[in-house]
Structures are given as C-alpha cells and as structure tokens.
C-alpha cells in the first residue's frame, strides 16, 4: 500500500511534530529511561512515537554527545537506559527557550 495523497494533512501534521519530538524526548530524559518505557510515557502524554523512530533518535542523540546510556539487567530482558548528560541538559534549556520563542512567533502569525 502506497501512501495516498488524498489528505496532505496527516503528512504535514507529522512534519509539525517532527521537531517537537526531539524536545519531548530530551525533556523526559532528565531522569533515566529506557526506550520502551519512554515510548509508553510519551504516548500517554499525547506524543505517540514509533519504535522505528524512537530508537534511531536515541542513538543519534547519543552520537551527538547529548545522552549517556548503559545496559541494565533487572527483572525482565536487558534494557538500555538513557539519560541527559551535561551537554544534553544545556541543549534542553536552549531548545526549550527556542520552542517558547517559536510559540510566541506563531501566535502572532496565526491571529
């Protein structure tokens, strides 16, 4: 099945949330989380994210030096926990400020 173009709304909606996704993930990783639980938490809070989107995103953010990760064995299968490091914490603050400026700008544009 090919993606139809009957409603470009869904595609554009995806684009709309695309950048906010990173910010949502970063904001959740102020405390250590593993991918699967993070996905559930985000879904519950109105920001659903596919596995095939979330896991590569976490790897990218770690590769960019924003996250630290470690494997942990508790009950259940091994889990990879991610957490903001100091650079990631600073970036979260910056991005949050940028986000809020964007919201102000968009409010002006949309009215």
What secondary structure letter does DSSP report for 37?
H
The H or E element that residue 2 is part of is none
Picked from DNA, a second copy, none, the partner binding residue 97 (CB below 5 to 8 A depending on kind) is none
Least CB distance to DNA at residue 99 (A): 15
Least CB distance to a second copy at residue 40 (A): 14
Q: Is 5 in the site for a second copy (CB under 8 A)?
A: yes
Beta bridge partners of residue 67, listed in sequence order: 84
- Is the CB of 16 or the CB of 72 nearer to a second copy? 16
Tell me the C-alpha distance between 81 and 58, whole Å.
10
The H or E element that residue 100 is part of is helix 86-110
- Residue from 32, 34, 47, 68 that binds a second copy (CB under 8 A)? 47
Beta bridge partners of residue 80, listed in sequence order: 71
**Interface residues toward DNA, by CB under 7 A:** 1-3, 5, 11-12, 14-15, 17-18, 21-22, 34-37, 49-53, 55-60, 75-81
Tell me the C-alpha distance between 42 and 46, whole Å.
6
């Amino acid at each position: 099945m090919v993606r139809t173009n009957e409603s470009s709304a869904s595609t554009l909606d995806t684009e709309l949330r695309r950048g906010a996704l990173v910010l949502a993930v970063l904001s959740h990783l102020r405390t250590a989380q593993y991918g699967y639980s993070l996905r559930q938490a985000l879904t519950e809070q109105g920001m659903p994210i596919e596995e095939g989107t979330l896991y590569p995103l976490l790897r990218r953010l770690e590769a960019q030096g924003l996250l630290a990760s470690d494997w942990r064995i508790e009950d259940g299968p091994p889990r990879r926990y991610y957490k903001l490091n100091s650079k990631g914490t600073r970036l979260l603050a910056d991005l949050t400020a940028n986000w809020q400026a964007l919201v102000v700008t968009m409010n002006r544009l949309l009215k």
